[in-house]
Amino acid sequence: MKLKYLIASILTGATFSLLAAAPPAEQLLSADTFMVFSVPDLAKAKTSFAESPAGQLFRDPEVKQFKDKFLTRLTTEVSEPLEKALGIKWAEYADLLQGQATIAVTMKAGSGDAAPQFDWVAAMDAREKSDALKTKLAELKKKWADGGKQLKTERIRDVEFTTLSVTEAEFDKIMQNAFPKAKKNASAKSGQGKVEFTFGQADSLLILGSKAQEIEKVLARKAGGQVQSLAEVAEFKSSQAMFRDASVFGWMNLRPILAIASKKASQMGGAAANNPMGASPEKILSALGLDGLKTIAMAYSAAADGDQMHLFINVPESGRKGIFKALAADAKESAPPAFVPADAVQFSRWRLDSRKVWSSIETMIAEISPMASGILQMAMSQAGKDKDPNFDLKKSLIDNLGDDIVMYQKSPKDLTLNDLDSPPTLFLLGSPAADQLSQAIKAATGLMMPPSMMKEREFLGKKVYSFPMPNMPGEENAKSTKNISFAAGAGYLSFATDDAILEEFLRSSQNQPKSLINQSGLKEASQKIGGLSTGLWAYENQAETMKTTLETLKKESGKLEQMLNQDSSEEEKIDLKSWVDFSLLPSFDKIAKYFHFALYTGSVTPEGFSFRYYSPIPPSLKK
């Protein structure tokens, strides 16, 4: 199956899956499933969304004009053309599909150099509306037959299924009617290949798929057949506890993908013979530690006290190396330090051992290319010797790194897109010898630019150094308009492009600000996602960030459209206002009650990397 048709088929199934549901995914699907997305109870999920802050905001009369304009354009430009082409009214099915919803993808590796085969299957439960669904499907099949569409009927395990078949050219025409911009990229040659999907109803269950074989496996599992289920797959079982109370969950087995990548890398290994560094794709994959990846799992839960999300990357410690070994932070105190001010709108603290990271990077480079490793070691040992024979970059720089990385951000100074893109932000590197690290950064930077570009000043007895920010690619000849300043203080080396936030940090030891950590509800909310000592902890004041974002977009929507269309031809340009008219949004104070704060944590276990998110219900919405 060609990739574009696979994607379109998955999107078709996903459209149904957003409306419907299926029996428990792990029991319904076969063991060769490598990716699954499921809504265990769609009716319950709809209710949870309606009661959530986002759902209440969606129904608020204050945003009706903005919402209606977008939905009208979406309906006329996308939904209606698709409905007309397919003869389907999405709304007619929305209330029929009530239970669980699942869409899954299977993958079979191709023999030899053949590409892997991807197929999909989706299943949705109508529950007590099974008869009404059966009537609708019969009407749809008759409409398609009367319209001259090519249909084929067959029985799979004594259940009648219908296959709709259209040519590639017909399919492209349907997609172009819904997405006119696609006409520019459409193939000039009318494809005569077939695009097919099969559908039918087994009891209350609507089943769709790209191949009859995939549907047959679902029916076999539904009937309690001997086909091995996804629930019996060890990699899935290890994540199953995450999904128990989830409103939505997803899971992906990365092993088949990585096996194909490893095979391709092995076939390309001969390229290393012509590479003076001896690096090969196979060595790179191994050194990065990607072959240690097993699965990724995600679960989202909507509850009365707030929304939670859990992402888990399964990389067992026994096989952990490369980037995964480097990024395995220890479980240490990760709450905001006392000097982080209460008006910080974003904050993160990562207890990552920077020396261990550097050691892992050296190991990776040595495994990929011993020659490159030798060159790196020689460059490190000789750096700066021409200016100071006693200078040791590794001892001064790497050995003075610590295990604490802090970032916090304040609201932009003005309501412009430029200020929104680069608000006042402070980065802090913990160090056992911050003053020595500061001198090392100064010396290392001096190796890459003329000494005259490094400026030095004093603030409260601290040395503050600054140099022009490097230009982005494509702007090499432009004059830099911002400086990067850095200084040592309070056990950290601080970096900022805004002098005010840097000076505020340096003053904090003398004039302690009101601290972020003392904000009401913050410590209690943290307990929902592991506490304040997970190794990674982050915060966002969504009320403030959303206020700034919406007010800036209302003010500068014209400039945003210009930026989006900067490199587009006339036929590719986006008429942003006809879709998303920010001028129709109310003043933020009228919708502020729907926004509060969100927390994020990250931790490392023997099984892998766990990331959690929690956004409590805003106080004004609590019942």
DSSP 157-205: TTEEEEEEEEEHHHHHHHHHHH-GGGGGGS-SS---SEEEEEEEEETTE
* Predicted confidence (pLDDT) per residue in 36-61, tens digit: 999 999 889 999 999 999 999 999 99
In this prediction, residue 382 carries a pLDDT of: 79
State the 10-residue block means of pLDDT for the chain, 623 residues long: 48 44 78 93 90 94 95 87 79 84 87 79 92 92 88 93 81 64 48 78 93 92 86 89 93 88 70 61 85 94 91 93 92 95 97 94 89 85 76 85 96 91 95 93 81 90 90 55 90 95 91 89 95 97 96 88 77 81 93 96 96 95 81
Query: How far is Cα 18 from Cα 21, in angstroms, rounded to an integer?
Result: 8
Burial class of residue 386 in the structure, from the number of CB atoms within 10 Å of its CB (0-12 exposed, 13-18 middle, 19+ buried): exposed
246 CB contacts (<8 Å, ≥6 apart)?
A: 40, 299, 300, 301
Residue 310, number of CB atoms within 10 A of its CB:
20
Residue among 145, 245, 161, 229 at smallest CA distance from 201: 161
Provide the residue ranges of all domains of the chain, joining segments of one domain with +: 3-230, 315-547+594-621
Q: What does the pLDDT read at residue 432?
A: 94
Q: What is the pLDDT of residue 195?
A: 77
Those residues with Cβ within 8 angstroms of residue 259's Cβ, 6 or more apart along the chain or in another chain? 109
254 contacts: CB under 8 Å, gap ≥ 6: 293, 294, 295, 296
Amino acid identity for residue 623 in this structure: K
Dmax over CA atoms of the chain, in Å, equals: 88
Spatial separation of the C-alpha atoms in residues 220 and 224, rounded to whole Å: 6
Is 204 exposed, middle or buried (CB count within 10 Å of its CB: 0-12, 13-18, 19+)? buried
* pLDDT at residue 15 in the model: 46
Partner residues linked to 537 by β-bridges = 349, 601
Q: What is the distance between the alpha carbons of residues 137 and 135, in angstroms, rounded to a whole number?
A: 6
Q: In angstroms, what is the C-alpha Rg of the chain?
A: 29
What per-residue confidence (pLDDT) applies to 596? 96
pLDDT of residue 586: 94
Instruction: Give Cβ neighbours of residue 304 (< 8 Å, ≥ 6 apart).
Output: 51, 617
pLDDT at 379: 81
pTM, whole model, 2 decimals? Answer: 0.87
Give the pLDDT of residue 20.
38
What is the token pair recorded at 109?
């590796």
CA dist., res. 17 & res. 235, Å (int): 24
163: closest CA among 200, 133, 136, 135?
200
